[in-house]
Amino acid sequence: MLFEKFNFMAEFQAELKAQDVVPFGAVTEKILSATEAVVNGRKVILAGTNNYLGLSFDPRCIAAAQEAAGKWGTGTTGSRLANGTFIEHEQLESELAAFYGVGHAITFTTGFAATMGMCASLVGPGEVILLDADSHASIYAGAQLSGAEIIRFKHNDPEDLAKRLRRLGERASQTLIVVEGVYSMLGDTAPLEEIVAVKREYGGWLFVDEAHSMGVLGSHGRGASEASGMESDIDFIAGTFSKSLGATGGFCVSRHPELETIRYCIRAYIFTASSSPPVVASTRKALEILRSEPGLRRQLWDNANRLYSGLQALGLPVGPSPSPVVAVTLEDRARAINCWSALLDAGVYVNLVVPPASPSTNFLLRNSVSAAHSSAQIDAMIAAYAGLIDSGLIDAKRDG
């Protein structure tokens, strides 16, 4: 019957209910600041928000949103092609294009719509989309919608990418290669220099999703593309407003003028209401702050390094290098759930990630760091993990 395929989820939910744990969709009852909230009746440090620069509570962004709501109303009530293009949408697009030093930008109502919509539209039947195996669900969704042949290459493995492009022969030139700047779950960065070298040798078009690297990497905050020095070889850069910019929405920029035509062929752009004026206004202000205050990025990295080295010193299994996303990998589901719950009891709210959202069969306690965290809050996170070891929930020697 129709619902049988959901049995695995019903069983998982029952298991969580029996343990009185709500790791997915836990209700935030009150937000106290960019880094603190009340969740399940407890005051907690937010350690899994993607609020990398802490801008969701910046008074300038809040004021811009309030003013826009008064001036333009709460919503556009229409798609960009109908009545939903306000002058502020166009201004935000110009500002994004200028930030990336390219001629063209499209904004979307969510980051998911941006990557899904672009991947679904840039390639079609008879063409190939070549994805890093750890790509985000929005990239997979777009690939499936595109009707193109989907081929995955091993995560962050340029040699495997080269092998697959070589096999494609002449078809390589009609292939869209999709990678992320910083990967959302383990915080590792794409080796863009090597990936670009492969693209130069075999052909193809390169699309980089900078959702977790905009505002995080690069001397101007343009992401892994900028940090690698490879921007001029990248055909499309996508990103989101929901992380470093503290709002909602997404974008794609490109040096190719054809983007302006492609805009009219993206269903996730045409058939959905455009971003509301307060969201556009706070995003514009956040982009201005991202550009003018590099100190925020330095603060973010100080915090990221502090958390990474603190967890590493405890012997916990963290990723290969420091990053604002610091994930602790566990093999056992029950233990991962217990750890998540114990961290919440200790006043630290992290993301519990289970397959298939995690890139392997493992479970993740995913922490994301913000420039707005204080050193004391980072130390409290480390202390909460030390508590997991002391109470025997994690065996650093076995798990590390």
Ligand X SMILES: Cc1ncc(COP(=O)(O)O)c(C=O)c1O
| Site residues, ligand X (CB under 6 A) | 110-112, 115, 136, 138, 180, 184, 209, 211-212, 240, 242, 250
Distance between CA atoms of 226 and 245, rounded to whole angstroms?
18
Give least dist CB 325 to ligand X, A: 10
Cβ 238 to ligand X shortest distance, Å: 7
Residue 240 Cβ, how far from ligand X at the closest point, in Å? 4
Nearer to ligand X, 184 or 323 (CB): 184
Please state, in angstroms and rounded to a whole number, the distance separating the CA atoms of residues 199 and 194.
9
Q: Which of residues 338 and 370 has its CB atom nearest to ligand X in the complex? A: 370
**SS3 (DSSP) at 236:** strand
> Helices (H) and strands (E) in the chain — how many of each?
15, 14
DSSP designation for 170? G
**By C-beta, is 184 or 358 nearer to ligand X?**
184
Between 208 and 382, name the residue whose CB sits nearer to ligand X.
208
Nearest Cα residue to 180 out of 163, 192, 162: 192
Q: Which residue is nearest to ligand X (CB)?
A: 111
Do residues 389 and 396 make contact, with C-beta atoms less than 8 angstroms apart?
A: yes
Residue closer to ligand X, measured from CB, 115 or 225:
115
Tokens 């983007």 correspond to what residue?
A: 259
Q: Output the smallest distance, CB 212 to ligand X, in A.
A: 6
Reported in sequence order, the residue ranges of the chain that DSSP labels E, i.e. its strands, are 28-31, 36-39, 42-46, 104-108, 128-132, 149-153, 175-180, 205-209, 236-240, 250-254, 325-330, 348-349, 351-353, 363-368
- Residue closer to ligand X, measured from CB, 168 or 279: 279
- Smallest distance, Å, CB 396 to ligand X? 28
Tokens of 84: 């939903």
CA dihedral 169, 126, 250, 153 (to 10 degrees): -40
The nearest distance, CB 43 to ligand X, in angstroms, is 26
